[in-house]
Amino acid sequence: MISDKMKVALNEQLNAELYSSYIYLSMSAYFDDINLKGMAAWMKMQSTEEYAHAMKFFDFIIRVGERVNLKQIDNPPASWDSPQAAFESALKHEKSITKRINDLTDLAISEKDHATNTFLHWFVDEQVEEESTVADIVENFKLIADSKGGLFMLDKELGKRTIMPQQ
């Protein structure tokens, strides 16, 4: 059994993960609108991955005998100033999710909630990967600067992404 405080925090994280899925889906639509199909596909896969993260929280909350409490999801932005700005926004978002996961882990430790702490370890590792991947893409944008050819190549490269099975 988990504490009421932990139950609330886990449900909040579930909703944050659903918002993550939503914001990446919005980014996918933005990239489709500006004809960057590879980046659109990358973001759509990211949305799918974030939805899978939400379902991990959903399933965990149920497994520990608690009730899932879904809340309204905020509207995500619909456009960005540039493709680079969209990925910079994605990096900022991932950093905010990392902070949330770290705070949740700290709560589990302070509550001596070993089951939740163990469950969260996967997310701690996942956030290292998430931030690193998006930071690398942002750095690639900086390298190509205003090169249309570079943008074309980066779009094609990001379009090669495949969904990795979740652990």
Q: pLDDT for 14-54, tens place per residue?
A: 999 999 999 999 999 999 999 999 999 999 999 999 999 99
Instruction: Report DSSP letters for 98-110, one per residue.
Output: HHHHHHHHHHHHH
Tell me which amino acid residue 27 is: M
Output the pTM of the full model.
Answer: 0.94
Is the pLDDT confidence value at 96 over 70? yes
**Looking at domain 4-158, which of 3.30.1320.10, 1.10.357.10, 2.40.340.10, 1.20.1260.10 is its CATH number?**
1.20.1260.10
* Residue 90 CB coordination number (10 Å): 25
What are the helix and strand counts (H, E) for the chain? 5, 0
Contacts of 136 (CB under 8 A, 6+ apart): none
